[in-house]
Structure 1
């Protein structure tokens, strides 16, 4: 079969739940399952896809907005292979119910899993979970990186993820909205810390470090519903990058995500 490229759809992204769909000629996979099983099935259907066809689920960490229906989907779809590192499996085990032994797969940090026409590369991040890791997906000469839920991005990670064709990059909060908002001071400190979340400005800074001539699509993800707005995140990132002479809307596009609605299915 002719390679049709790496296809990506951000089914949902935000502080309330996260799930991304990725497709190659041979594989259909999800990254995280932070919504109800029914919601994920409905979001898949909204872009013409069926959970029955998904062969693998990659989990980034044990927080509820990333693992909520991991167990439900595994039990509902016995052919689904679930991948996570040992720390994440141990941390989410009491919360997801029984997963059949043959469906459980260990995926160690900073390793690459080869699955036919898809290579999945794991890398560690700085977040207040037990052993958080995110993933870069490579197929047919194309690559897509998911990077959310991190307080900062190391030089090592920037090297791993540089010059991908597409990114889902965290822009969790506007710093002033967070500082002035209703969250408790300890929670604000947690979000702003090195094990918290990237702000709009942080996300822009990371993108300027890793963006290359292959990069065509940047999804802005994991926006806080309390401390951010889509329009603000988009404007902030675009303005910072334009101020540094990056070709926004010429060389690459910045795309919004939503906690309730799927993005379109994009071919990289």
Structure 2
């Protein structure tokens, strides 16, 4: 049987250094090459290692020749070590993206949990003031207008809610929006469950009254405690058209009242 050509001890050592410089794909291509091709590449990679110096090459050659069995064992161990380099490298490269993705997800979930716990603690830490309760409900319920300002009286027994009206397709529908915004603000006040004796609701909007365009108070209404407490969701559809009847007092700018006809 013909003796199989293999790399020498020194060539195998240099091969290990060479493999460290290769990428994953380059290592695969290198493994496909014949022993002679590998030998040529290795010698070109580090030619100094193969230059004879003080008969070192002859000493190694003579030792290998003298200890053939041990030489074969050493070469097999080296080949096995190189093979594990390929395997470990491939496994490490495939596992690293998975670990990185998992770590990022865990950090994201941890931050989210911490934020939710912090928000929950802050909400339970101190009760909301009457103004905070009202603003919270106004933000949820008022859709037909924008909330401009909220102001409580000296003893918080009276509250004033100012709204910014929104323009619609026609003057009539714009005026209807003012009325709906007033009803929505009154319903938000009821939901806030705060103790007030009366509420004034003002609606502001840019208006041309024959002189110039400027923001004016186009609607106002005052509501007593009993009416506030009796407010419910169904009234959101019925109250806008009957504000003058149910409010303690009310005002609608003549220009807007004219547009409602």
TM-score using structure 1 length: 0.22
Which one has a larger percent helix, Structure 1 or Structure 2? 2
Which one has a larger percent strand, Structure 1 or Structure 2? 1
More contact order relative to length (CA 8 Å, sep ≥ 6): 1
